[in-house]
């Protein structure tokens, strides 16, 4: 039984090292959240159903959980890049399906919509001419791509 116990520990730690390697590889990826492996004991009486004093059979991985702690906020040269300070996600439209992301790297597409690198449109609430947010249906955010209509000067 000792070989099985040791082997379960080696397998669990191998998976843990894989998660750690993924965290390191994505350390500078915007919006990435690190993960952590959660372990649990395996008991003999859970497998064969006999005995009241089960000897442990090793370790098992119960899950790999994302850690949603606040990351670093850095400035960029792109005026459309955004960050979330604290909890929350950006809502994006992927062909009518709402998806969520912490990655705030955005640009304008050819139609003036604010999109991420995958072409998903950023969702938000529209504003009136005074800049007041209209809390109604959420919709893709679109920035004007043409020039603003001219207005004659009334005061000199």
DSSP for residue 5 = H
Q: Which of the four pLDDT bands, split at 50, 70 and 90, describes residue 154?
A: confident
How far is residue 30's CA from residue 65's CA, in Å, rounded to a whole number?
19
Looking at residue 98, its pLDDT comes to 95
Looking at residue 2, its pLDDT comes to 65
pLDDT for residue 8 is more than 80: yes
Residue that wins the pLDDT comparison between 57 and 48: 57
How far is residue 15's CA from residue 10's CA, in Å, rounded to a whole number?
9
Residue that wins the pLDDT comparison between 104 and 69: 104
Q: Which of the four pLDDT bands, split at 50, 70 and 90, describes residue 45?
A: low
How far is residue 152's CA from residue 156's CA, in Å, rounded to a whole number?
11
> What DSSP string runs through 45-73?
HHHH---SSPPEEEEEEEEEEE-------
Residue that wins the pLDDT comparison between 23 and 108: 108
């Amino acid at each position: 039984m000792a070989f099985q116990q040791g082997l379960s520990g080696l397998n669990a730690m191998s998976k843990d090292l894989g998660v750690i390697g993924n965290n390191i590889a994505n350390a500078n990826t915007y919006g990435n959240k690190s993960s952590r492996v959660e372990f649990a004991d395996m008991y003999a009486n859970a497998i064969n159903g006999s005995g009241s004093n089960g000897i442990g059979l090793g370790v098992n991985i119960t899950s790999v959980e994302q850690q949603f702690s606040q990351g670093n906020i850095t400035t960029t040269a792109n005026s459309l890049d955004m960050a979330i300070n604290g909890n929350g996600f950006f809502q994006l439209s992927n062909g009518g399906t709402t998806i969520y992301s912490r990655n705030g790297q955005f640009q304008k597409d050819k139609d003036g919509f604010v999109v991420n690198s995958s072409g998903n449109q950023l969702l938000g609430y529209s504003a009136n001419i005074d800049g007041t947010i209209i809390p109604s249906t959420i919709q893709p955010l679109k920035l004007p791509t043409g020039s603003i209509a001219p207005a004659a000067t009334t005061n000199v």
